[in-house]
């Protein structure tokens, strides 16, 4: 058994969308729904003052979903960790559609829970 962690960066995003908690809440809701995730509490949001961005965190039975936005740079960083396998999700298409991103980078990291067992010498 293993988990998977997605590290996602999107650039060229609409700064207004990156500063809007409701837009980010819709993004989280879509991820949670389409990946059949299970929040253990409502997502928490912190909107920084002035031209600052938003930090969001949703604790999941599967682990967590987090985001940090940087409207001044037109970027968002997302992190989703799931303790059990999940299907791929269209990060690129969804972030382009919802945030008007022009560049999306997705890294998926397998998270094994047991240490690798060394092969026995023959």
Enzyme catalytic residues? 63, 68, 83
DSSP the chain: -EEEEEEEEEES--HHHHT-HHHHHHHHHHHHHHTT--BSS--EEEEPSTT--EEEEEEETTEEEEEEEEGGGTEEEEEEEESS------HHHHHHHHH--SEEEEEEEEEESSPPPPPPP-
Nearest C-alpha neighbor of 50 from the set 23, 74, 21, 19? 19
């Amino acid at each position: 058994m293993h988990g998977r962690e997605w590290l996602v960066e999107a650039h060229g995003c609409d700064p207004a969308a990156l500063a809007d908690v409701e837009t980010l809440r819709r993004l989280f809701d879509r991820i949670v729904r389409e990946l059949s995730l299970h929040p253990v509490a409502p997502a928490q949001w912190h909107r920084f003052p002035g031209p600052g961005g938003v930090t969001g965190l949703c604790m999941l039975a599967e682990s967590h979903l987090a985001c940090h936005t940087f409207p001044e740079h037109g970027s968002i960083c997302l992190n989703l960790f799931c303790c059990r396998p999940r299907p791929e999700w269209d990060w690129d298409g969804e972030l382009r559609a919802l945030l008007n991103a022009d560049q999306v980078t997705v890294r998926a990291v397998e998270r094994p829970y047991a240490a690798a067992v060394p092969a026995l010498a023959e």
